[in-house]
Structure 1
């Protein structure tokens, strides 16, 4: 019994001390601000910060405006941006109405004694309120009870980026503001001046981007717990391509041009041409790996810079393959006569095969017909008419009449077509002089590269 009484006394004492400390803090804050009239001091004494304004008379309307101080970093790897903003919120609290015609600027630490909206940034990854030299808060109360509450915040916000046209892409990022606990029946948001509620972007200078457009919108966030007010600020960023032209596009194009130097080197200079080809291939591979260091690791889409680097790598590799083909043709050029005889022998062999197959087929058919005729003559006991050949008028060399011509078998037709196709293929692949390969490459490679570049830049810049 004694323990319970002492415990209750201790609890009562703690409550009394906390109440006295709160009153002392309030009195100290009010005494420090000599501009506060006694009427405001009385209002704040009976003020309950846990109840929103117009608690039983409809929702509170909160107007917002933003001032973008800076956008520090825009990361494609993490798909986010870091910005420092000044967030200003205005609402009316009927409990703070006072007599006068001037607004009162209060110490930012008095915000702990007032009701403020529970606004938060939806896609924020991390944020902090600046507190040097004190917490960067502003409280201003107007005679009609309007409260201006301003904050200086640095936040890192997620931004979903489409990098299919990187580095010629445009990204649209958003800054979304919502109420955490008050739904639309308790709280409503609106922009104070529409699209002009956001300022600072016109004079903002970014390293790789330029701000092309920005606008605001009002919507609602729908969750399982209800509908909540939501404000969205949209801004469109266009990437500056000059850095990438100097860093990636020009070096890769020059490597392609460097690979064409081998076309003017003699085919007998094997080390020189192989050295140029292998060096350009390895350098291009290093350039491709370096261009991907600032991009997301997930290869969920092919980017424009990947397409261009792939084109350049294909041309460089093609120049190396061109020398391999030309060198092979040079080695076989001295044996061209032997190859010609082999080609004729191949044709003769194909003709002999077809002739042999045809004669064998005809001979077999003749034997079958002769056997059939002999069997028929033996069964009917009728004389067989023997035709005399023109070379034997005496009839000493009898022969059967020649059977009618039968259509050729389908395999003969296939073999004939195959022979024609092989002959045309050998004629197309035949190179009279291997040095002509380099002469053709000197023209076809540059023209093809120029045409591919025209198609590439037209597609990614205008479509």
Structure 2
């Protein structure tokens, strides 16, 4: 029994020593992997806070490029837009000690983990007019660092940003918004770091499409130095201008065509007589309310501004046209009431005087009273002549248009004022509206171009 227990103790002691040896070997291996120097070695005196050496008095050149993946959420109320993009920065880091055996056969570059970027000097550009700028992440940040044999460092990242844009709406809905993106070095002035566009500059995704806008091309790129009083100095700045041209097709179908048809519909009231007063009033009031409802809904698409927009002028032209048709109905109704009053209250009176005496003829001709003095003087037997004040006979003249009714002496037909106004309105209203359209569109197209 004692030997049996000694054997078990010996086995347990042996297993303990084996486990301790395995644990020590594992720790040694882990320490070896942790302390092994990378094959890309930074010099012992490397300080990442110091920029790479360059010619005396010249700044470090940083080439910058952007690949725009998508542009969306063009918000006219907040006056900003969101852009998803890949950014690329490239500069020369002559202090690196790169061994040739880290490159695969036939390659002149190697891609390293993003953590290596934290040990290098790096430029610090930022979006000057951005509200939000973030690097995209899923399980990790979408960044990469590439080293070339000539000691060029290339940093790439996928990011999205919300860019502020000062928009103008004078020509809405044919407005063109020019929205810049400013990229500037944050802490290094233009004597230390100079940003410049690379040969590729800014490129767009060929499948990029916007719902309400056309993106003007080519994009305008600019390199400049901007003075920042907050940071006291001139800093290198890159600018790219995006030109958003609003598509007019949506507004032609949803705004201009329906409002034009409503205005034309109001002209039908001129063919309705005053015996159809309920139908005429209903037609005009419905047209006015339709325009008000239509244009009230359009105001929700853009923020309230203090100046007059092109759409406001179109709204005013359409509503004034319908309101004028409604005012015309009120005028002709008042004239008709006056005409009916005179017809019913003033009877026609005709008086004939004997020969050789003055005769006063009072006749009601469509609501107007005419007085004529006639003298009949015999000349030859069987002939008489009608003279006024001893002169030749004067032709009868048409009454003033201010009268509610008159008789046309050329045709002998009675003319009623309100009916004549309706007839004239059938031609005048369409002509005035078409003149407004012919002036509106050429001026708007000329200004938008």
Q: Specify if TM > 0.5.
A: yes
User: Does the 8 Å contact 1:201/1:211 carry over to 2?
Assistant: no
| Alignment match, 1:444 | 428
Q: CA distance change for structure 1 residues 288 and 38 in 2, over 3 Å: closer, same or farther?
A: closer
Output one character per residue of 1:117-145: Cα deviation in whole Å (capped at 9) or x when no partner.
11100110112210113201111111222
* 3-state SS, counterpart of residue 131 of structure 1: coil
Q: Distance in 2 between matches of 1:289 and 1:323?
A: 26
Deviation at 1:26, TM superposition (A): 12
User: Does the 8 Å contact 2:368/2:403 carry over to 1?
Assistant: no
Q: Distance in 2 between matches of 1:112 and 1:430?
A: 94
User: Does the 8 Å contact 1:80/1:158 carry over to 2?
Assistant: yes
Residue among 275, 281, 291 paired with 2:298: 291
Residue 215 of structure 1 pairs with residue 199 of structure 2: no
| Alignment match, 1:112 | 118
User: Does the 8 Å contact 1:222/1:228 carry over to 2?
Assistant: yes
| Alignment match, 1:365 | none
Residue 427 of structure 1 pairs with residue 400 of structure 2: yes
| Alignment match, 1:131 | 137
| Alignment match, 2:195 | 189
Deviation at 1:56, TM superposition (A): 8.8
5 Å matches for 1:314-333?
A: 314-333=320-339
Q: Distance in 2 between matches of 1:331 and 1:304?
A: 41
Residue 272 of structure 1 pairs with residue 279 of structure 2: yes
5 Å matches for 1:167-182?
A: 167-182=173-188
Output one character per residue of 1:66-123: Cα deviation in whole Å (capped at 9) or x when no partner.
1010001212222211111111110111122424362110112322222221110011
Deviation at 1:205, TM superposition (A): 1.0
Alignment TM-score, normalising by the size of structure 2: 0.72
Gaps of 5+ in 2: 1-29, 101-106, 347-363, 371-398, 406-415
Residue among 234, 237, 243 paired with 1:230: 237
User: Does the 8 Å contact 1:187/1:229 carry over to 2?
Assistant: yes
Q: Distance in 2 between matches of 1:26 and 1:262?
A: 96
RMSD of the TM alignment (CA)? 2.7
Q: Distance in 2 between matches of 1:428 and 1:68?
A: 70
Q: Distance in 1 between matches of 2:89 and 2:43?
A: 20
* 3-state SS, counterpart of residue 50 of structure 1: coil
* 3-state SS, counterpart of residue 70 of structure 1: strand
Q: Distance in 2 between matches of 1:223 and 1:198?
A: 25
| Alignment match, 2:92 | 92
Q: Distance in 2 between matches of 1:331 and 1:247?
A: 41
More strand by share: 2
* 3-state SS, counterpart of residue 95 of structure 2: helix
5 Å matches for 1:3-402?
A: 28=34, 38-40=38-40, 42-43=41-42, 47-54=46-53, 57=56, 58-100=58-100, 102-193=108-199, 196-200=200-204, 202-213=206-217, 214-224=219-229, 225-297=232-304, 299-336=305-342
User: Does the 8 Å contact 1:97/1:143 carry over to 2?
Assistant: no
Alignment TM-score, normalising by the size of structure 1: 0.70
Deviation at 1:25, TM superposition (A): 11
User: Does the 8 Å contact 1:264/1:438 carry over to 2?
Assistant: yes
Q: Distance in 2 between matches of 1:222 and 1:98?
A: 38
More helix by share: 1
Q: Distance in 2 between matches of 1:97 and 1:243?
A: 60
User: Does the 8 Å contact 2:64/2:197 carry over to 1?
Assistant: yes
